[in-house]
Amino acid sequence: MNKNLILSADVLDIIFDGRNKAYGAYDLRKTYNNRIATALAATVAISVFLLLTVFAKHEGKNDLSKMKFTDISISDIPLKEVTKPIVIPPPAIPKTQVVKVELRRFTAPQIVNDKLVTEPPPTVKELDGVKISDINKAGDKSGDELVAPPVESHGTGQVNAIKKEPDWQSEFKTVQIEAEFPGGKTAWAKFLERNLNSALPSEYGAPPGKYTVNVSFLVDRNGNVSEVIALNDPGFNTAEEAVRVIKKCPLWRPAIQNGHQVTYRAKQSITFMVLDNG
């Protein structure tokens, strides 16, 4: 390219100087801006056309003159018959009239000096038609023979069963404090060692070994020992000897149950040892 034409020449002319401009690449680059402008114009035209079409359809739908309306009468709609349930009220409970019955406190008869009497007992006439209770309470007199229950000032809501007092004269097999030999277990063991004839089985020809006798006996409320019975008999006069020794023991300390001295059945095992002297 002539040097004088470089300053005024296009960039494409400088790039394609001396090349084949008819090949196509030069023409594509030369017309690039025109083609972009044409494409943008076509896109804008198509978008405007689509928008106008949508608006036209939307306005046609909102035209109330073209819409169809149907008149509906309320009388034409069938009504469902609603059946209300019949509610029968419960029968009224009659109020029970509370009858206040006169109560008269029971006084246990005691023989005392007249000077010690602070409240004389009621007469037979005063007790006629009243209820015997543990308190005095004013009320109506009644002729029936029902005994009114005692009235609590502060109810607990609980019914306590009447506790039956045990027979303290009977025999107890389980107690809170067992009967005990005076001086405790150590003194009891020494008593048996001093009074028991431990050589008795050997004298009756018992072979070497252990011979245990279980003895049952009663200790009454005063500490007396009775009903001494051997529950087993190993032989060789061991059962008789064990019973003999326990029968001769002194008074015991009685058993205790709920603070009462009671009769208690105790048990004791006594063992005889026969050694092999050969």
Report d(CA 116, CA 123) in Å as an integer. Answer: 19
222 contact partners, CB below 8 Å, separation of at least 6? 251, 254, 261
Q: How many domains does the chain have?
A: 3
**Given this model, what pLDDT does residue 237 score?**
93
| Structural domain boundaries, residue 238 | 171-274
Assess whether 175 and 224 both reside in one domain: yes
In terms of DSSP H, where are the helices of 122-237? 184-195, 200-203
Q: Which residue has the tokens 């008869």?
A: 109
Q: Tens of pLDDT along the chain (278 residues)?
A: 566 666 666 776 777 666 776 767 777 777 888 889 999 999 999 999 999 988 887 765 555 555 565 665 555 556 566 666 777 777 777 666 666 777 776 666 666 666 666 677 777 777 676 677 767 777 766 645 455 455 555 556 666 666 677 788 888 988 999 999 999 999 999 999 999 998 999 999 999 999 999 999 999 999 999 999 999 999 999 999 999 999 999 999 999 999 999 999 999 999 999 988 65
Residue 45 within any structural domain of the chain:
no
4: left (phi over 0), alpha (psi -120 to 50) or beta: alpha
Q: What is the dihedral of CA 199, 203, 208, 213, to 10 degrees?
A: -60
Residue 205 within any structural domain of the chain:
yes
Residue 182 within any structural domain of the chain:
yes
104 contact partners, CB below 8 Å, separation of at least 6? 122, 126, 127, 130, 131, 132, 133, 136
Assess whether 181 and 236 both reside in one domain: yes
**Given this model, what pLDDT does residue 276 score?**
80
